Structure formats: structure tokens, C-alpha cells
Chains A and B, each alone.
Chain A
Amino acid sequence: MRSLAVFGALVLLMWLSLIALLYVIDILVIAAVEESWARSVLGLAAFMCWVSGWYRALLTLSKKLIERWTRRASSEH
């Protein structure tokens, strides 16, 4: 059941970071910026940063998990 803990925690972390991002956008962008277009651009830029951060983190995690499994499988043989 370790995988459920790992990926359950990952889903929870993604969700928490997304809510935190929305909070930051609410405080820093919506409250401080008046122009609608600027809000959209800044909000979307922040969201794209969130997406690319998670994209890199997930790829790194996936490669590490598969490498670890490959090492384990070859040592068992």
C-alpha cells in the first residue's frame, strides 16, 4: 500500500499547492492590479509556472521510481 500513500500524498500536495496558488493570485493579483487584461496575464503566468513546476517534479519522480525498480529487479536476478 506504499504506492497509495505516495500517490495519495502527491494528489493532496498538488491540490494544496493549487489552492495556495489561487490564494496568492487573489491576494497579490486580484487585489493589487486593476486592469482586467493585466490580471489575466499575471494569473495565467502564475498558473503556467505551477503547471511547469509540477511537470518537472513528476517527470523526475517517475524516472527515479523506475530507475529504483530497475536496479531492484536486476539485483534480484
Chain B
Amino acid sequence: MVLEYIFALLAPAAAAYALTPRVARLMRSLNHMRPDVHKPGRPMVPYSGGVAIFASSMPFLLAVALLDSALVVRACVLAAVISIAFAVGLVDDFKVLSGRAKTLLSLLTVLPLIVAHAVQPAHVQLGRPLVPLLGRLRLTVVYWILLPLVAAGPANVVNMLDVLNGVMPATSLAAAIALALSAILVDPKGVLLLLPLVGALAGYLPYNKWPARVLNGDSGSLMVGAYVGAAAALLHLEFIAAVALIPHILNGALVIVSVRGFKEHRQMKERPVVVREDYKLLPSTSPSAPISLVRLILAVDGPLEERQVAARLIALGLISSALATFTALLIPR
């Protein structure tokens, strides 16, 4: 049993650590690169690092299913969800989709969950979230109305906070660890579903932290967000995931409200942040610029370097993930 956990954690970590530079080289050879806009000279950096996260988590997620027959259905559902999110992200990386198209396509991630709930109700039960103090809720109507957001919601909010080097893998790693620790309390075997993500992000992070040697792309951020959301739904830990992703949800809500809808960042006329000549970041003073968490952090602390803002966002991710882990202790058993 312990060996399964060690395998599910360390193998994806080693794979991601070995694979990411190779994916970066491949993207460089394909000239699939993007400017790192917050650095002097705006250097071109290989894009779609999400390919490495996907390639290093997916095989081990399926291997977990082979190791433990009780997890087969849930592991396959999770694999299907993250494959859809990854495919949508990869298409967007190579051929830019509109914000609305990307959001609508990401809603497809809910399909494997619905099918599995209908076909394999013994393994995949939806609508029974575990909530602190109240225990297991039975949401028969509301859950199904909100279901499209279960995987697409986290996918999009994680994607929207993927704006600075290292923020997406670090905050998602913290959230995934919080979910894994919570799963130990409610479904110890279910932890195996999360360990491939934890390992892959841990192996990938050194390449994306400031100064990034590879950028995640939407293939990375949509996939990781969908992984967190779908794993939470399969383990009944939706509430814990929502707490762990508070900074992401906060940022997503502020951006959506301020730009009045889903817009791709490349389609926004104004940027929330201005890059100074010395490459320090300033909040935009334009009243019509989008409001984002980065803009608000800069409005409080003034001009900051990219890595200083990233450190603050990661610290917020750690705080919310610690609260999420503590929340799990409040679930009645």
C-alpha cells in the first residue's frame, strides 16, 4: 500500500523533471514560443509546458487504476476529464480561441462525470459533497445545475491566475496537496488519484518558477484546474477545493465582473498591469482596465518586480490551502 503511494507520487515527479526540458526543446524547435513580457528584452520562452505536466501525470494516473481495481472507474473518468481540458488548452495554445469559445469548450469536461454517474453509480456518485459541520449533503437539484462548473470552473479560474512565472504550478500544487491531505481523512485510497498531479507539478515547478524556462500555456493551466475540480468531485471534496482555490476564485470573479463576461486576455483592449521601463509592474490607473488580484496587490504595495508579485500570490495560495486542509478536519465522520 505504501509502495503504491510512493510510486504514484515519485514516478510522475521524476517523469516531469526529466520530460519538461525535452518538451521545451521540442517547442523551441517548432518555434512555438511566446515573449515573457515582464522580463527585460521580452525574451522568447518555449510555450505549452502543459504537455509535460499531462504526459507525466496521465500514464501514472492510469497505472494507479491498474494497481487498485477499486479506483479503475474514477481514474478513467479523471483521465477523460483532464484529456478534454488538455485538448482544449492545446488547441488554444496553437490557434487562439475566443474567451467564450474556450469557456464553452471547457464545459465539455463535465461529460465523463455525468456518463460515469449514470453508468457506474456505485463508483461515481455526484451531488454528495462533504461539508464541514454539516457532513454529507444530498443536493439533488442544485448540484446538477452547477455541475458544468465542477471541472470547468476550476479549470478557468486556474487559467485566469496563470499570469506570472511559477504561480500556476505552485498554487495548484498547494491546492492538490491540501486535497490529498483531506482525502486521507475521508477516502484514503482516493489519495492515489491526486498523487500523480502532486508529483507532476512538483517535478515541473523548477522549470516554470521565476525566471521561467518554459511557459505553461492553456494546455497546462486548464488541465491542472480541471484535474483539481474533477478529483474533488470524485472524492466529494468540492468544498475543500473551493477553499483551496479562494485566491483563484477571487481573481476570476473580479476579472469577469470588471470586463463584463468571458474575454480572452489577448482580446482585452486594456491591461490591468503596466510594465515600467525598469520592468517593475504598476497597476493600471485606467478606470476601464480589468480588475485582477495582481492589479490590487500592486495597488497596495506599489511598483514590484514580477517575482515579488508571484511570491505574494503563491503565499496567498499557501494560506488558502492550509485553511482548506484545516477545513477537512471539521467534516464530521
User: Which B residues between 174 and 194 are near A, CB-CB below 8 angstroms?
Assistant: none
User: Which B residues between 242 and 299 are near A, CB-CB below 8 angstroms?
Assistant: 243, 246-247, 250, 253-254, 257, 282-283, 285, 291, 293, 295-299
Contact present for A8 and B246 (CB under 8 Å): no
Q: Which residues of B contact A44 (CB under 8 A)?
A: 142
Contact present for B291 and A3 (CB under 8 Å): no
Contact present for A58 and B253 (CB under 8 Å): yes
Find the B residue at minimum CB distance from A29.
B134
Contact present for B246 and A15 (CB under 8 Å): yes
Find the A residue at minimum CB distance from B317.
A11
Complex-state Cα separation, A19 to B329, whole angstroms: 12
Q: Which residues of B contact A50 (CB under 8 A)?
A: none
* Whole-angstrom distance between the Cβ of B235 and the nearest chain A Cβ: 19
Q: Which residues of A contact B315 (CB under 8 A)?
A: 4, 8
Contact present for B283 and A62 (CB under 8 Å): no
Contact present for A40 and B301 (CB under 8 Å): no
Any B CB within 8 A of the CB of A32: no
Contact present for A66 and B297 (CB under 8 Å): no
- Which interface class (under 10, 10 to 19, 20 to 34, 35 or more) fits A? 20 to 34
Complex-state Cα separation, A70 to B288, whole angstroms: 13
Q: Which residues of B contact A69 (CB under 8 A)?
A: 283, 285, 298-299
Number of interface residues of B (CB under 8 A): 35
User: Which B residues between 297 and 319 are near A, CB-CB below 8 angstroms?
Assistant: 297-301, 312, 315-316, 319
A43-77 near B? 1/0 per residue, CB < 8 Å:
01000000000010011001001101110011000
Option from A40, A70, A74 in Cβ contact (under 8 Å) with B139? A40
* Whole-angstrom distance between the Cβ of A62 and the nearest chain B Cβ: 5
The B interface is mostly helix, strand or loop, or mixed, namely helix
Any A CB within 8 A of the CB of B323: yes
Find the B residue at minimum CB distance from A70.
B285
Given contacts A15-B246, A55-B253, A59-B257, contact A68 B299 (CB under 8 A): yes
Find the B residue at minimum CB distance from A7.
B316
Contact present for A3 and B243 (CB under 8 Å): no
Option from B132, B133, B319 in Cβ contact (under 8 Å) with A12? B319
Q: Which residues of A contact B141 (CB under 8 A)?
A: 40
Contact present for A7 and B134 (CB under 8 Å): no
Option from B243, B247, B301, B320 in Cβ contact (under 8 Å) with A2? B301
Contact present for B142 and A22 (CB under 8 Å): no
Contact present for B132 and A19 (CB under 8 Å): yes
Given contacts A40-B139, A40-B142, contact A1 B301 (CB under 8 A): yes
Q: Which residues of A contact B138 (CB under 8 A)?
A: 36
Given contacts A3-B312, A8-B319, contact A26 B133 (CB under 8 A): yes
* Whole-angstrom distance between the Cβ of B129 and the nearest chain A Cβ: 12
